[in-house]
Amino acid sequence: MFLALLVGCTREPAAAPEKLVIEGWIEDGAAPVVYVSTTLRVKEGEKIGKDTVQDHIVKWGKVTISDGTESVILTGTASDRFFPPYAYTTGRMLGQVGKTYTITVEYSGAVATASATIPPPASLESITPVPAGSSGEYMLHATFTDNPLTEDYYRFFTRIRDIDKTYLPASLATLTDGMITGGKAQIDLVPGGSIYHTESRAGFRSGETVEVKFCTMQESMYRYWNAFEEQFALSRVPVFSLDANLPGNVTGDGLGYFAAYGATSYTVTIP
């Protein structure tokens, strides 16, 4: 039976129609950022390089954001903060807590939309470097108090200054109320994966300055990040075949997500 499953995994699926792929977010007090590409068909045994991915970047799409009262068209611009290195943004609309934002992406006859509401931000009570085992590296031990009367969802991002070009999702750092006992939450943060880390690391290193972003979000984004972490862990196990899309909130002719974060930021120097 196991051998039959392995053979079944090698069968090439029928070609799916090309769709838009959207990754975007807005934070309170910050401008929206939206990345748009198209789906890339991966064939068995084929190696995918940066050039192939860049061919699927959408540089001439129309991306609009609305807060229910005003609509603004975002401007596409080259950006080396991410890969693919092209993003849509605007300084004419900044995020506000409590507002719902809707993006509409139009390209080559395809239309995709997504909406998200910025929840109130939360604050950490402490964030302290602690040794990460015997590696000589450090984790960041963070604590905060969860409101037991509300349903809350949290996500941590980190950025190592002068190494990471942008904030990265910290590993295993997505939380909800069901994971918190007695309202007191604590978590140990380690760096997220990045193409800019040329060697593996278990934590942060002495002398590094780490910027931490503590975000609240809606349930739809909790489901996305929770599935992201599960698939990332399973991708390291050769016998698992990962062929399911992450549960985003984009509808229409697209896949992906548009998130709205209530965010607070902290800076820690590793001793």
Q: List, for residues 74-125, the tens digit of each pLDDT value.
A: 999 998 777 678 999 999 999 999 999 999 999 999 999 999 999 999 999 9
Yes or no: domain 126-231+262-269 corresponds to CATH 2.60.40: yes
pLDDT at 142: 97
Token pair in block for residue 135? 């590696």
pLDDT at 237: 52
pLDDT at 67: 97
* pTM for this prediction: 0.87
Q: Are the C-beta atoms of residues 127 and 270 closer than 8 Å to each other?
A: no
Q: Are the C-beta atoms of residues 153 and 137 closer than 8 Å to each other?
A: no
Mean pLDDT computed over every residue of the chain: 87
pLDDT at 1: 31
pLDDT in tens, 62-76: 999 999 999 999 999
CATH code that applies to domain 19-119+247-260: 2.60.40
DSSP the chain: -HHHHHHHHTSPPPPPPP-EEEEEEEEBTS--EEEEEE-----TT----HHHHHTTB--S-EEEEE-SS-EEEPEEEE-TTSSS-EEEE-SS--B-TT-EEEEEEEETTEEEEEEEEPPPP---SEEEEEE-TTSS-EEEEEEEE--TTS--EEEEEEEETTT-SS-EEEEEEEEEGGG-BTTEEEEEE-PPP-TT--S--SSB-TT-EEEEEEEE--HHHHHHHHHHHHHHHHTTSTT-----------EESEEEEEEEEEEEEEEEE--
Q: Where in the chain is the domain with CATH 2.60.40?
A: 19-119+247-260, 126-231+262-269
pLDDT band of residue 50 (cuts 50, 70, 90) is low
Q: Are the C-beta atoms of residues 222 and 174 closer than 8 Å to each other?
A: yes
pLDDT at 169: 92
Residue 4 has pLDDT above 50, yes or no: no
pLDDT at 224: 95
Mean pLDDT of 16-43: 90
Residue 15 has pLDDT above 60, yes or no: no
Token pair in block for residue 90? 């605007």
Residue 250 has pLDDT above 90, yes or no: yes
d(CA 73, CA 112): 15
Mean pLDDT of 126-154: 93
Mean pLDDT of 194-223: 88
Comparing 114-128, 132-146, 150-164, 185-199, which segment has the lowest mean pLDDT? 185-199
pLDDT at 75: 97
Mean pLDDT of 151-168: 93
pLDDT at 11: 45
Residue 144 sits at the vertex; the CA angle it makes with 118 and 138, to the nearest 5 degrees, is 110
Q: Which amino acid is at 17?
A: P
Residue 30 has pLDDT above 90, yes or no: yes
pLDDT at 46: 67
